[in-house]
Amino acid sequence: MTTALVTNDDGIASPGLLALARRAQATGLDVIVAAPAGDASGTSAAITAALMPGAAQSGAVRVERVALDGLDAPAYAVHAAPALIALIAAHGAFDRRPDVVLSGVNRGANVGHAILHSGTVGAALTGGASGARAIASSLDVGLRPTEYAWDEAAGATVALVPALLAEAPGTVLNLNVANRPGERPTVRAATLAPFGIVHTTMTERGEHEVELTVAELPTSPDPGSDVALLAEGYSTLTGVTAVGDSGVAARLLG
């Protein structure tokens, strides 16, 4: 049986996490849920417990067994960033090492090169670097959502697992699902846009304070990119890789 670690960066109480875990279990996966005890959004691939409240000063990672509604699977609230959770899972922290890491379903899209900052994607990349196959799954809810297609996003994520298992260990996919409750997602292959859907501006306020403002990008996205296809109502799928050697050092020194 295929063992799946279900994690996220929104925290153990996230409805997207529960929807994904339930769907994964319903399709026959051996599910282990281990997610941050609180919100760990934007933690990228951080592998330190010190980022999270409740971490022991000794460097030990605090893990608490929890029960999730409607889920008959082991579940843990971990006082650590999601990438660290994926890392310790690969070392057997939750008894069985995962074959697949399912990270999500995130509240909000993770698109473009801005995925560098995503804890959702960071967990998937760390799982891939540890030898598992992985999917980072996000729901494109926009800035002011009134309803959420959690079940549709979870279904689209789990539907990719059989094909993913046929790929090489370390394969990582980034899935963004259009927020259309009641509709089956239409998934298109996409490139990574140069930027994300929104951008952050900083305004210094006084001597010791910086204020951040998030707004939608005013420019048109590149055709065929994840940002462009999401804007057209499609869900998007992109294969992503962890950090690698660009080869520039050899050219500079050669």
Query: In the chain, what percentage of residues exceed pLDDT 70?
Result: 88
**Token match 């967990």: residue?**
123
| Residue 199 banded pLDDT, cuts 50, 70, 90 | low
Residues 6 or more apart in contact with residue 197 via CB below 8 angstroms: 109, 111, 112, 140, 216, 217, 227, 230
Closest CA to 174 of 224, 117, 104, 75: 104
Is the model more confident about 70 or about 51? Answer: 70
Query: In the chain, what percentage of residues exceed pLDDT 90?
Result: 76
pTM above 0.85, yes or no: yes
Q: Average pLDDT in the 180-195 region? A: 94
Question: CATH: 3.40.1210.10, 3.40.605.10, 3.30.1300.30, 3.40.50.920. Which one for 3-193+221-253?
Answer: 3.40.1210.10
Closest CA to 228 of 242, 214, 238: 238
The confidence score (pLDDT) of residue 217 equals: 63
Residue type, 112: G
The confidence score (pLDDT) of residue 205 equals: 65
The confidence score (pLDDT) of residue 48 equals: 72
Whether residue 243 is predicted with pLDDT greater than 90 in this model: the reply is no
pLDDT tens digit string along 111-146? Answer: 999 999 999 999 999 999 999 999 999 999 988 889
Whether residue 5 is predicted with pLDDT greater than 90 in this model: the reply is yes
pLDDT tens digit string along 200-233? Answer: 666 666 667 777 766 666 567 889 999 999 999 9
The confidence score (pLDDT) of residue 77 equals: 97
Q: Average pLDDT in the 160-165 region? A: 98
Q: Are strands 198-204 and 3-7 parallel, antiparallel or unpaired?
A: unpaired
pLDDT tens digit string along 8-36? Answer: 999 999 999 999 999 999 999 999 999 99
DSSP of 33-65: EEEESS--TT-TT---GGGSTT--TTSPPPEEE
